[in-house]
Structure 1
Amino acid sequence: MAEKDMTFDIEYDVVVIGGGGSGKSAALTAAKGGLSVALLEKMEHTGGTSIYAEGQAAFESSEQKTRKLPEGKQFPSKEEGFKRYIDYSHHRANTDVVRMQVSNTAETIDLMKKLGIEYTDVNIYAYDQPHELYTFHRPEGLGEHMQEVLLRACVNAGVDIFTSTPAKKLLMKDNAVVGVQALDSKGNRINIGCKDVVLASGGYGNSPELVKKYSWLYRSADYTYQCVPTENTGDGLNMALEIGADTDNIGPIMIIPCARTKTLTSHVSGAGSQPVLWVNKTGKRFASEEVAMSFADAGNTIAMQPQGTVYAIIDSDTIQHLMNDGSDIGLGDFIEYHMKLTRLQTELDQDVEAGIAWKGNSIEELAKSMGLDAQVLADTVKEYNEACDNHYDSLFFKPSKFLRHVRKGPFYAINMAPSVLVSDGGIRVNGNMQVTDEKYKPITGLYAVGNDASGLYGDTYNLDVPGTANGFAHASGRVAARHIIKTLGA
């Protein structure tokens, strides 16, 4: 939006749009650098997706330098991290953005420690996963506590925080961003003048329309299930595109399997996320369920099935195993490795009663209650049990340790859905997090950070560097703010 005779209701040096981890990191850094800062958050509270983050990635951090790993394991160097990001993206990542990530995430750890954050562990996300790097810095209290600490630090540093205040337009003058038009908490339009704007609105992952438009998930976008209550609907992306910004590798999205209508801490969802027997709406298997060890790959696998629907089929013996022995794989802090799913039977009974899970005394009865072809599902289960007998899966080569029979009734089916956590690509930026136009030229006064920015991914979130998105959020926000401080000469 460009206007010749523009007037502002209030002016700041910097306006940050979005109050998650990337936005608060940018606001705090800018304020500590002597700049006046306004942070606009459209929700009633700040935090965004960062509230649900568990750990953050870092390379050559002070925590890594003081900890030991099991014999044969090592913490990755910045060089190893750089190469892993580039290789995993199939060389589609922006090398300047990747360099920014590996060079600045260790400092995030030190800054958080100065704010009072304690790190309880530096590990991998999925235990027994051979490909992960040991980058996962787990803070006490996880993401929710980190966001509380950052919010307090922003307030103490003098950041003016406006909640229930959605940004609507970027204001332009002489081809530079000079302000933001927003709606205040009462719905009144306000024009806020500034020298720089930082877009930190969290991407577009919660907008089915934009997911259909930009990602590979267009066939299943209407069948996804939102397991965390975020509102990342592409605000920053749309505002940037309106004034001539360009995109880069915009399609990556982070998907996690979750039982439909359930939370990630649900024991039913945790059971369905195990490498048990999975079938789609045809009643047939479609992959090695070992893929469950990486929630990002498992999410992609489920999302590719007809109507984004997968059924986890378990028998009574498996239920007892999960309740008494614990999970075979973990899902971070939501379902810990070898955690006993003690609520599983109770939850299953409730879900069957509510019609969101299914039960049958035989496989044929289970199939009929699900609306599947009874003979097809029976044949699938028979073939699967034969693989369990032989300790060899000739269809998908699932490791024998995950081959568990489906024989003892009653039998249950859990409705697993792809849940889009965040988008991982969007506005093209350079290594300073400046937004660029179609000619790769920075747009004066505009930055994008966190999940509003592109550059770190190929087509999938790389869980083999666990904590990447959260690490990127805080590092990119800080790098953008420091470039603003340098440019303004504060």
Structure 2
Amino acid sequence: MKAIHGSLDRRGFLKGAALSAVGVGALGVLGGCSPSTDAPSNGKDASQGESTLPSWENPPAAIPESDISETKDFEIVVVGAGVAGGAAFARACEGGAKAALVEKMDTFSARGMDNAAIDTKKQAEAGIVLDKAKIVNDLVTAGGYKVNGQLIKLWADQSGRVYDDITEMIEGQGLTVAIASLEETNMDADGFWNRTYPVTHTFGVPELGNGAAQQNILSSFIDRGTAAGGEVYYSSPAQQLITDDSGRVVGVVCRQGDDYVRFNASKAVVLATGDYAGNPEMVDKWAPLLKEAATSVYTPAGANTGDSVNMAFWAGGAMQKGGAAAMIHPIMGGGACGTYSFLRVNKDGGRFCNEDTPLPGITNAYMVAPNHTVWTVMDADFATQVTQMSKLSMYNGTTSGPFDPTLGITPEDGMQQTIEAGTSVTGDTIAELAKAMGVPEEALEKTVTRYNELADLGRDDDFGKDAANLFPIKKAPFYASQVTAVLLSCTTGLDVDSNLNVCTAEGAAIEGLYAIGNTAGNFFADGYPMVCPGISHGRAITFGYVLGEALAQDKSVQEI
């Protein structure tokens, strides 16, 4: 048996790792649902026969010591080589701890581009002044008070210095660091739902591209960890946690080829394996709405299978009490301008809501709509009207169909492209448009007539829409664009306390066991808010970074 040590350098990463959006690596499990293991699965224990219990409630027999071919001793073992795990590994090693990073895939994985942080040097340079307490309150409110406000405050207090370090690291490579949007006009909008703050940082996106830039952050963290003496083991799916007689987690068993390797962890095992959205059994239990999304773009496939949920539950852990918070956006599909605040109708041609909503409201409407059919309807002046609409978030409008002014794609260009693709349709009359949409002609005509009455009145007496976005639909040709909903990840996980310890159903911390990134819960509940775009990465990297420091210093994250 030969373990894989070290990490890819950045040139190797750019050649070997996928440059498109890729997902956080998750573990394999014994008795779980990962396709990477050949052990009993889905609640079946070979020693007991068939079981009707779900996998997380059906712990397998312990792997016999006789089957373990090698034991490695560390202070900290981080399971999962995504951005959260990479940050924890780097800072633990740089803090003097002997640490290992184990990953079930054959390399690390990261994706996306947006990272939320508060009180960074980049924000100060741009003259951005933020009310941190207000942002924390908005995020707690967005979670319906089912989240842990101390965790949200931890991100708010620590993310600035963490992202200053990343900025120095990335700019030292000659790459660009920028605030994604300097838009401040809706920081004081009515209600947290419509507020968005300029907290989103991008690192090397123009040079490396979406996905690759995020992987570069992770690659750099792993290089930092190995340079400080850490060891990395890829193709090493974790199977079971190891506990002592007191219930403290003291290590993890991984599979390497045909062998089992025991990784002892005298201080902590940190679970950083991503979400469970790729596990149908867990989705049915905790997040059934995810099944209503049009598709998932989480990659690499087979990574986010909820392996850490099984292992943590077998050690006495529990899931967060707040509902699932799926990150679902109307991207990679849909028609041009479909997420702007034009008239929106369902399959029956009827209007059903105030269209002034950021992305979660749009995709939630899609997922609960009959036949998953939602259309955005506009007239010939749509291209001019989009520039006059109120800004609901930095993502609204440009996320549906190929419309990106920064790339020279105009609304008209995008509309033509999506008409050719079949995700937008047009007609010289409302009846013709309805026929192209496949909705009842009389119903759509009635809906448009009523909508025009409200626009002429200058007041939405039906759903309370901002009059500034109430444009009449009178000038031919008319257009309709499909709305879609695409799953990126499920930012919901294990019950953790304010120190990121995994907890039992009774709320007791499991000593020696921690969770970060989308493996950890209690930061989001019931939905993923757009208050701070990029906050999923923001909390993942910040918590990994701070936890690595804390464990190396024998402190809690609240003491750092």
TM-score, scaled relative to structure 2: 0.73
User: Is 2:235 the counterpart of 1:136?
Assistant: no
Preserved contact between residue 240 and residue 254 of structure 2 (Cα < 8 Å): yes
CA contact (8 A) 2:82 2:218 kept: no
Q: 1:311 aligns with which of 375, 388, 393?
A: 375
Aligned to 2:398: 335
Identify the residue that residue 18 of structure 2 maps to in structure 1.
Answer: none
* Cα pair distance change 1:379/1:86, threshold 3 Å: same
**Deviation at residue 52 of structure 1 after TM alignment:** 0.9
RMSD: 3.4
- Residue 466 of structure 2 is matched in structure 1 by 399
Q: Distance in 1 between matches of 2:315 and 2:84?
A: 22
- Cα distance in structure 1, aligned partners of 2:290 and 2:538: 29
Letter in 2 for 1:313: V
Query: Sequence identity, in percent?
Result: 25
Instruction: Identify which of 251, 271, 276 aligns with 2:337.
Output: 271
**Displacement, 1:93?**
1.8
Contact 1:257 1:416 in 2 (8 A): no
| Match in the other structure for 1:103 | 157
CA distance in 1, matches of 2:224, 2:290: 44
Does the 8 Å CA contact 1:255/1:299 hold for their aligned counterparts? Answer: no
Contact 1:318 1:404 in 2 (8 A): no
2:222 aligns to what?
A: 154
- SS of the equivalent of 2:337 reads helix
Match of 2:72 in 1: 11
Runs of 4+ with >6 A deviation:
none
Q: CA deviation at 1:349?
A: 4.6
Tell me, what secondary structure is at the counterpart of 2:548? helix
Structure 1 residues 169 and 367: CA distance shift in structure 2, 3 A: farther
Between 466-475 and 118-127, the greater mean CA deviation after superposition: 118-127
Tell me the equivalent position of 2:547: 480
Letter in 2 for 1:153: F
The one of 214, 217, 223 aligned to 2:286: 214
**Cα shift at 1:33:** 2.0
Q: TM-score, normalised by structure 1?
A: 0.82
Paired residue for 1:92, among 146, 149, 159? Answer: 146
Shift of 1:166: 3.9
Alignment equivalent of 1:57, drawn from 98, 117, 120: 117
Residue 220 of structure 1 and its aligned partner are, at CA, apart by 6.4
Q: Does 1:299 align with 2:356?
A: no
1:113 matched to 2:180? The reply is: no
Distance 1:219 1:480, change over 3 A: closer
| Contact 2:336-2:415 within 8 A present in 1 as well | no
Q: Does the C-alpha gap of structure 1 residues 348 and 168 become closer, same or farther in structure 2, counting only changes over 3 Å?
A: farther
What letter matches 1:290 in structure 2? D
What per-residue deviation string (whole Å, max 9, x for no partner) do you get for residues 99-131 of structure 1? 422332122122213323464338667854534
Q: Which runs of 5+ in 1 are unaligned?
A: 263-267
Structure 2 equivalent of residue 75 of structure 1: 130
Which residue does the alignment assign to 1:445?
Answer: 512
Assess, with a 3 A threshold, how the Cα gap between structure 1 residues 281 and 105 changes in structure 2: closer, same or farther. same
TM-aligned CA deviation for residue 3 of structure 1: 4.6
Matched residues in 1 for 2:136 and 2:385: separation? 41
Q: 2:516 touches 2:540 (CA, 8 Å); kept in 1?
A: yes
* Alignment CA distance shift 1:199-1:24 (3 Å): same
Alpha-carbon distance, 1:26 to partner: 0.8
Q: Report the number of matched residues.
A: 467
- The DSSP-based 3-state class of the residue aligned with 1:477 is helix
Q: Deviations over 1:16-72 (max 9, x none)?
A: 222222111111111212234333344455333xx21413122x4444445424xxx
SS of alignment partner, residue 469 of structure 1: helix
Change (3 A) 1:375 1:116: same
Distance 1:278 1:423, change over 3 A: same
What secondary structure is seen at the aligned counterpart in 2 of 1:284? coil
Residues 1:190 and 2:254 are matched in the alignment: no
